[in-house]
Amino acid sequence: MTLIKMFLKTLFLSFSVCILLLNHSPLRAQEQPLTPKQILDKVDDLFRSQSSQGLATMTVATAHWKRSLSLEMWSKGKDKSLVRILAPKKEKGTATLRSGNDIWNYLPKVKRVIKLPSSMMAASWMGSHFTNDDLVKESRMADDYTFEITFMGEGEGEEIVEVTCHPKPEAAVVWGKVLVRARMKDYIPLFVKYFDEDLRLARTMTFSQVSELGGRLIPAMVTMVPEEKPEESTNIHYKKMDYDIDLKDDFFSLRTLQR
């Protein structure tokens, strides 16, 4: 599954934790009473399933070039995903497999699989504004951060909720703070802001074009903009999503990667 999906998952996993915590707070009073389990399920239903398959276009614009990649992606559970590039021709067949905290890349031109060294985790994924670390950190987010509702109410024309994630003191994390805003009614995210260790805004991920894909309402467009270079961006536009398809665990193997 692509990185964006992971973000969403992370986001909503953390989200559910927040909401879970929030359940006893008086702020929740206005909403119809939902048990924590129900909220969790709702979030999960919206953004994650047992498995998924999708098609997307990733458009990366930098000061020096702009290009689009067609991607096909699969995911299963929280920590297995596979992304394969369908176009352009030069990268066709290039694939990334993520299993747990490990990332492998398959390079069809040289017909080799390489495992990404930990030193390259902070490097860009396929030239985009996402890093390899973004691919794997989902499963760690819940362990490394504490969550807190920092805003709830009217904002941007609708009922929104804002959650701030702070890293635990001992956690080895990249971000000093992560701020998430989502719609109250369906928990569709609006944006995520990433702050560096000095709590300066480093990058912003915005969600838009909420539309129905695979029977769910999700934001079909995800845009990442680095704060330092506002003229640069990476867009991921989801074209097609299918949920709860039949995928075996061994689909996420080095053999599939090389197919």
Partner 1 sequence: MNILQYGWRNLWRNTRRTCITLAAVTLSTAILIASYGLMDGLMQHAVSNATNLVVGEVQVHAQGYRGDHSIYKALNRPDLILRAAKQNNVAAAPRRYGYGLVAVGTKSAGARFWGVEPVLERTTFDLAQRLDQGRFLSETSQRGVVLGQKLARSLQAKIGSEIVVVVQAADGSLGNDLFTVTGILKPAGDSIDRNAALIHAADFDELFVSGGRIHEVALNSRGTVSLEGLTELLSIAAPEEEIMSWRQLMPEVSDMVNLFDAFIWIFGLIFLLAAGMGVMNTMLMATYERIREFGILKALGATPWRIIGDVAAEALVLAALGTVLGTILGLAGSYYLQEVGLDLSIFAGTYSVGGVAFDPIWRATISPKMVFIPVMLMLIIGLFASLYPAALAARLDPVREDRGSSKVRSNSKF
Using CB under 8 A as the criterion, which residues of the chain lie in contact with partner 1 when the complex forms? Answer: 60, 62-67, 88, 90-91, 94, 105, 107, 109-110, 112, 114-117, 119-120, 123-124, 126-127
Is the CB of 112 or the CB of 259 nearer to partner 1? 112
Cis previous bond, 88, omega within 30 = yes
Is the CB of 34 or the CB of 107 nearer to partner 1? 107
**Could you please report the per-residue DSSP string of 109-126?**
TTTEEEEPPGGGTTSBST
If we measure between CA atoms, which residue out of 19, 35, 38, 37 comes closest to residue 27? 19
- For the CB of residue 254, give the shortest distance to partner 1 in the complex, in Å: 10
Is the CB of 66 or the CB of 168 nearer to partner 1? 66
- For the CB of residue 207, give the shortest distance to partner 1 in the complex, in Å: 24
- For the CB of residue 196, give the shortest distance to partner 1 in the complex, in Å: 17
| Cα(94)–Cα(31) distance, integer angstroms | 46
Is the CB of 52 or the CB of 128 nearer to partner 1? 128
Residue entry with tokens 């390899």: 132
Tokens read off for 211: 């539309």
For residue 85, give the H/E element and its range: strand 80-87
If we measure between CA atoms, which residue out of 226, 232, 222, 193 comes closest to residue 58? 222
Is the CB of 112 or the CB of 168 nearer to partner 1? 112
CB 98 within 8 A of CB 136: yes
**Cα angle 39-44-46, degrees, rounded to a multiple of 5:** 100
- For the CB of residue 123, give the shortest distance to partner 1 in the complex, in Å: 7
- For the CB of residue 219, give the shortest distance to partner 1 in the complex, in Å: 25
